[in-house]
Chains A and B, each alone.
Chain A
């Protein structure tokens, strides 16, 4: 590894920022171990827009808006904004939905997985193993010739999702009456919105520059070993999160009584395995999809739309797990997700003679 490489230091800076802000946002008001959680934020935001009726999960998370707009700003500044799309749009939309299913059953996205682990939540270990296993399986699938069609330049379509998030920013500021904000429970716990938005913008910009992605980091490490810059980004993320958790008295290593966690380890494993596998197929974890959407990638934007739909469905259909465990519909939905992955892989496989 070349430690004089400027990109490597950007990746490490992004990892440090993600770990530090991930814990600090919790200290500033976000739910415990959930300073940054893309899937939780989507569930909250879908609720705020009236797409589901769980009154405990409704808040338009400024961080989510910040990720997309920060990425767009950075991409525009460094002339990397390219409007592109057209690669298997509907499979990507459904992938977004199933990403949310996997996250909801585990209770958290890959970033929250790391935040939970670094706060001592040992129930997340099964999810961690599942994520690595899912990425490994995804790589094997790619190696077996499964590829989604290549994207093409599409003028304008890359602006639609950043435009949607800009509209959400307007909603956040104006607070029209149709928005629903929880008065109690986890969605009522949030950092001051300007602080959260600033954190989101900063992380979005850094992630755009560094290409930081949790599943991408795992994937590159499996492929390149210690030569992967993202591995060092992940190290920085983990170390900074542990340090801030320790410094703020939030490190509590135990299996029991953890916030927003359950003991259905098999389903934690399977939920994150689904997320890992899908993320490799579509080229990035939920966070990375948002960053790519900000760079003008309409395909990633469609994944983001799928995640918004998924965020509503996991709440409306009783798919999301709670501390009580994984409901039946959650288990069925995860298995449906795997059926989708297998079916997609079969359909998208490059076969000899074709």
Chain B
């Protein structure tokens, strides 16, 4: 009898293991589209641990897909992503055009899930007020950046300055790290004024890259939501609820294994945590987009 059991034991073990493998294979696979801030490699390094964490918590295999801003709408409409991680302007665009649902917002820096757009000049440059920027060289962030372009464009319009006519010229830097580039652009005198997100100023100051006294903040926008997790309208409500719960419960000490190494999920993602916002919290961005004539409210 004992021998029989000994013989059966490996068979049973193999059967159980195989069944387990089948179940793993059977787990649904969903894709999360993460908006590239700088480049694909950075996006993967930042968000692969977060996707792994969500997979562990939700019981679904989430794939990390880096997506360029200009491709996002088309690929989301094609049903490629179950979840999205974008800036707040893109969230509004996808919500209005394709029914994206709000899951949670990233918390980072002084303002938590929000930040502001600022217009800055180098201290001592003689530019002290918003009025002084007429005829000057200005550098914006990317066009779809809510606090690197939209907010500052709106600030200027509100102050009676038309960026298309009243500035000497304006530019948008190419390539990666656009926000840092424009801050350095003003610091080193290549431009007179920059449209800098308050969050980038904050982080560069904290890291010692710049000092608070280096710049004059000419104007600052209203504080608005920033990076946002959204869900496709047809996502299973149970998965939706589990994803939201997992994000809200994520703490700085939570880790996952990536390539044999334990990685802190929030630290890797450059995020302090997640917060549950209301869609109405995004209304100030909607109003800005309407005033600036930007998508999804653009009229010709």
Given a CB threshold of 8 Å, the question of whether A touches B is answered with no
